[in-house]
Amino acid sequence: MANWSCVERCGACCHLDPIERPDIQSYLTPTEYDHYLSLVGPDGWCIHFDAEARKCQIYANRPQFCRVQTDVFQRLFGVEPEELNDFAIDCCRDQIDAIYGDRSLESLRFEQAIGL
């Protein structure tokens, strides 16, 4: 069985361009959505994403909507705790493939990290 794991030096989830996430407003409160939009840089990446190091500069203090946690995913997406692992794997795969490609180093590293 695969177990979700965040992969260092990926950052695919930090690509926040709302044009590529047209349903994002339906998941967030108006205040969260405004905060989300304030994080989007001109290139579509989060303003706190360090592109050179490829990591979040505010990881410990990142917004709730950036956290892969049971309570967050249940509130935002209606995902039950027992479904979180598979849901998070699918989300990461989709985002990594969309940003870097399904044959990218990031995709390969993710598949290795989750045990596939």
For the segment 6-48, what is each residue's pLDDT rounded down to a tens digit?
999 999 999 999 999 999 999 999 999 999 999 999 999 999 9
Residue 1: predicted pLDDT: 76
CB 23 within 8 A of CB 91: no
Domain range for 98 is: 12-113
Domain for residue 7, yes or no?
Answer: no
Domain for residue 4, yes or no?
Answer: no
| CA angle centred on 4, ends 24 and 51, rounded to 5° | 60
Q: DSSP letter string over 78-112?
A: ---GGGHHHHHHHHHHHHHHHHT-TTSHHHHHHHH
Q: Count CB atoms within 10 A of the CB of residue 10.
A: 22
Domain for residue 61, yes or no?
Answer: yes
| pTM: predicted TM-score of the whole model, two decimal places | 0.90
Domain for residue 52, yes or no?
Answer: yes
Integer Cα distance of 53 and 30 in angstroms: 31
Domain for residue 69, yes or no?
Answer: yes
Straight-line distance from the first to the last Cα atom of the chain, in angstroms, rounded to the nearest whole number: 8
Domain count for the chain, please give it.
1
46 - beta bridge partners?
A: 40
Domain for residue 94, yes or no?
Answer: yes
For the segment 37-94, what is each residue's pLDDT rounded down to a tens digit?
999 999 999 999 999 999 999 999 999 999 999 999 999 999 999 999 999 999 999 9
CB 73 within 8 A of CB 79: yes
Residue 25: predicted pLDDT: 94
Residue 67: predicted pLDDT: 95
Domain for residue 3, yes or no?
Answer: no
Integer Cα distance of 97 and 12 in angstroms: 9
Domain for residue 32, yes or no?
Answer: yes
